[in-house]
Amino acid sequence: MIKEVIVVEGKDDTVAIKRAVEADTIETGGSAIGPAVLRRIELAQERRGVIIFTDPDHAGERIRKIVAARVPGCKHAFLTLADATRAGDIGVENASPEAIRAALERVRSEAPEEESLIDWEDLIDAGLIVHPQAAARRRYMGELLGIGYCNGKQFHKRLRIFRITPQEFAAALSQLEDKGV
């Protein structure tokens, strides 16, 4: 049984989570999260902790930001786009139980706002911003680091809040370079 309550978007996501692990969920009902749902998530965070596990798409990222802003200290689980896509549809409900378990094993905790260990110049040097293949490179790095895909500014923020070390960054960058991305 997973101690934390997992925040998902809808009923199909809850079904997929329960196929993979024994856990309780809170469903946001989509990106129009109401105050009552946010209060339930706050209570869950106080009593058991929360893991935000939303779809790797724009709506899922919007929900993740809303919940994380309102409920500090949440943990985050990320699926790769490939693991969450079936027949052109993107969602947690499409992921295999194995992919869901793997994402939950790589859960990341937020850290207090601090100085970044990896600066903006490191992202430029790594070709993660201001590079013709920057988006593809960030997508692959996000998968390797377990922090999901996002734009350059958000990627830099996630490196900071999830305390990605220069060693983790360098190891993932080496894998990216070996893959030829």
> How high is the pLDDT of residue 113?
61
Rounded Cα–Cα distance for residues 86 and 96 (Å): 10
Judging by beta carbons within 10 Å of its beta carbon (0-12, 13-18, 19+), is residue 130 exposed, middle or buried? Answer: exposed
- Assign 112 a pLDDT band (cuts: 50, 70, 90): low
Where are the chain's structural domains? Answer: 1-110, 112-181
For residue 16, report the phi and psi dihedrals to the nearest 5 degrees. -65, -40
Rounded Cα–Cα distance for residues 34 and 149 (Å): 26
Q: What CATH number labels 1-110?
A: 3.40.1360.10
List pLDDT tens digits, range 23-74. 999 999 988 899 999 999 999 999 999 999 999 999 999 999 999 999 999 9
> How high is the pLDDT of residue 30?
84
